[in-house]
Amino acid sequence: KNQVEQSPQSLIILEGKNCTLQCNYTVSPFSNLRWYKQDTGRGPVSLTIMTFSENTKSNGRYTATLDADTKQSSLHITASQLSDSASYICVVSRHNNAGNMLTFGGGTRLMVKP
């Protein structure tokens, strides 16, 4: 069964601290993995996308890693800001950019406190 599991479900950190969110998947075949940020009341916004041949990708203070052998990914947030408070969703695709081939994780809800 194609699944994407994320941990932790929720996380509270202080402003300025770093954090790492985890994503494990059993989706097959594998095309690419994306991390999305979803602010409250808004739609998901893409942060990074990686294929099996990429094991790290950065977008500003966000750095995603991918281990296609162990089927694990992580999203590291450096020097957190209050605006980082959001849900972070890991999404695995079975086909290049086909929206009907996406398996979504349940998300990690991050709260950054001053």
Partner 1 sequence: EAGVTQFPSHSVIEKGQTVTLRCDPISGHDNLYWYRRVMGKEIKFLLHFVKESKQDESGMPNNRFLAERTGGTYSTLKVQPAELEDSGVYFCASSQQTGVYNSPLHFGNGTRLTVT
Nearer to partner 1, 99 or 114 (CB): 99
**Residues 11-46: b if buried by 16+ CB within 10 A, e if exposed:** bebeeeeebebebbbebeebbbbbbbbeeeeeebee
Which range, of 22-30, 38-46, 58-66, 71-79, touches partner 1 by CB under 8 A?
38-46
Judged by CB under 8 A, the chain residues 89 through 108 that form the site for partner 1 are 89, 95-100, 102, 104-107
Going by C-alpha positions, the residue among 53, 50, 47 that lies closest to residue 108 is 47
- Does residue 59 belong to the site contacting partner 1 (CB under 8 A)? no
Nearer to partner 1, 77 or 92 (CB): 92
Interface pick for partner 1 out of 25, 44, 80, 88 (rule CB under 8 A) = 44
Which phi and psi (to 5°) does residue 17 adopt?
A: -85, 165
- Does residue 21 belong to the site contacting partner 1 (CB under 8 A)? no
Which phi and psi (to 5°) does residue 111 adopt?
A: -120, 125
Neighbours of 88 (CB within 10 A): 24
- Does residue 68 belong to the site contacting partner 1 (CB under 8 A)? no
- Does residue 73 belong to the site contacting partner 1 (CB under 8 A)? no
Nearer to partner 1, 2 or 74 (CB): 2
